[in-house]
Amino acid sequence: MVSERGLQVLRAIVQDYVETHEPVGSKSIVDRYSFGVSAATIRNDMAQLEDEDLITAPHTSSGRVPTDKGYRVFVDHLARIRPLSAAQRSAIESFLTDPADFDDLMARSVRVLTRLTGQVALAQYPSFATAQLTHVEVVALAPNRLLVILVTDAGGVSQRIAPLPIDLDEADLAVLRAQLASALTGRSVRDASERLTTLVDGQSAPRIEPALRALGAAIGEELGEFRQEKLVMAGAATLARREQDFRGSLHPILEAIEEQVTLLRLMSEMRPDEQGLAASIGTENEPFGLPEASIVASDYAAAGGTARLGVMGPTRMDYPSNLAAARAVARYLSRMLDEDEARR
């Protein structure tokens, strides 16, 4: 069992290794920290940490570096997550102010997070399956070509052009608008998808039924997009600057960034603490094919529930600072989504 001083030695090793990228020896710990004991005593503590697989020697007679298990103990029990500075908070607020739309807000959130951390930033879109449709609009671009606009109370906005098999006049269009508004407005995205089936099954005048079916198919596809999990990312280029921090190939990480499905599943399965913060470190990500990477994240609140925002990088990362940055950006994002919902 590791002593309390041993845990503080582990903290020192993690902090020094993250800062210097050099294995940490007992003499440097004695020189830099006020433990009040000799280097020989620190070496005994380090031997105990090594027995517990919390640190390891990368080379014979070298200093020690944290293992993935050591990083986990550090994150769970030793990391001190301090609030960001006033300047950093101001930068987040100014960067996220006045976005053009929800997509722009999400894109800005990951861009500012990668600027704060120097890591790949990623954010889940909130699930819109339970969000309600607040507005359904149909705009005629031509007699047989319509633009469909869907808006949800969670900030989701979707547009799709629907080609029709027949021409419609203004009277036909008015009937379609009324039917769609009556059937879909105020329903959840999930319920609206189900309601579309009954809407197009003989519930309209025979003449416009083909147009309603085509329109229903287009709307159904858009509602399906609302229900799909989505991920937005920024900062992939930072991996090239940190390639030496990865023991193996960057290919699995780059592949995960390109395909996104793996990262979505990993982020969804991370277990947050009582503050909504979560970390998945190194070999813990082996089931996802990412044993070389760590992800830290924070939950944020949206009308559809909660989603997650965080950063991905090598296991040798500044976990407290990255968690603090993710938490701060998530809080601003939650606040802006809440204010936007209150205005609607």
Tell me, yes or no, whether 308 and 179 share the same domain.
no
Tell me, yes or no, whether 120 and 44 share the same domain.
no
Classify residue 128 by burial, with Cβ atoms within 10 Å: 0-12, 13-18, 19+: buried
- Of 311 and 224, which is predicted with more confidence? 311
Tell me, yes or no, whether 206 and 242 share the same domain.
no
- Of 329 and 229, which is predicted with more confidence? 329
At residue 343, the pLDDT reads 65
DSSP reduced 3-state for 70: helix
Tell me, yes or no, whether 193 and 138 share the same domain.
yes
Mean pLDDT, residues 254-276: 92
Query: What's the domain count of the chain?
Result: 3
Between helices 86-96 and 102-117, what is the axis angle to 10°? 150
What's the pLDDT band for 203 if we cut at 50, 70, 90?
Answer: low
Tell me, yes or no, whether 241 and 318 share the same domain.
yes
Classify residue 165 by burial, with Cβ atoms within 10 Å: 0-12, 13-18, 19+: exposed
Mean pLDDT, residues 173-198: 83
pLDDT in tens, 280-319: 999 999 999 999 999 999 999 876 678 999 999 999 999 9
At residue 211, the pLDDT reads 86
pLDDT in tens, 65-98: 999 999 999 999 999 998 899 999 999 999 999 9
**Domain containing residue 43: CATH number:** 1.10.10.10
Mean pLDDT, residues 143-150: 90
Q: Token pair 């989505």 is at which residue? A: 230
At residue 217, the pLDDT reads 86
Of the listed ranges 169-178, 260-269, 273-282, 333-342, the least confidently predicted one is 333-342
What does the alpha-carbon distance between residue 341 and residue 74 come to, in Å, rounded to a whole number?
38
Q: How does the average pLDDT of the chain come out, rounded? A: 89
pLDDT at residue 158 greater than cutoff 60: yes
Tell me, yes or no, whether 35 and 153 share the same domain.
no
Nearest to 74 by CA among 54, 60, 51: 54
What's the pLDDT band for 201 if we cut at 50, 70, 90?
Answer: low
What's the pLDDT band for 192 if we cut at 50, 70, 90?
Answer: confident
Cβ–Cβ < 8 Å for 42, 2: no
> What pTM does this model have?
0.79
What does the alpha-carbon distance between residue 222 and residue 317 come to, in Å, rounded to a whole number?
39
pLDDT in tens, 114-134: 999 999 999 998 876 667 888
What amino acid is encoded at 54 in this protein? Answer: L
Among the three residues 48, 78, 108, which one is the final residue of a domain in this structure? 78
Tell me, yes or no, whether 184 and 96 share the same domain.
no
- Of 320 and 154, which is predicted with more confidence? 320
At residue 61, the pLDDT reads 67
H or E segment to which residue 298 belongs: strand 293-302
Cβ–Cβ < 8 Å for 179, 205: no
Q: Token pair 């003499």 is at which residue? A: 27
At residue 157, the pLDDT reads 80
Tell me, yes or no, whether 216 and 336 share the same domain.
no
Whole domain around residue 188: which residue ranges? 133-227
At residue 37, the pLDDT reads 92
Of the listed ranges 64-73, 80-89, 149-158, 267-276, the least confidently predicted one is 149-158
Cβ–Cβ < 8 Å for 119, 312: yes
Alpha helix locations (H) across the chain? Answer: 4-20, 26-32, 39-51, 68-73, 86-96, 102-117, 170-184, 189-199, 209-227, 238-241, 251-259, 261-269, 319-343
Cβ–Cβ < 8 Å for 23, 17: yes
DSSP reduced 3-state for 100: coil
pLDDT at residue 190 greater than cutoff 90: no
Among the three residues 166, 200, 227, which one is the final residue of a domain in this structure? 227
Among the three residues 193, 227, 261, which one is the final residue of a domain in this structure? 227
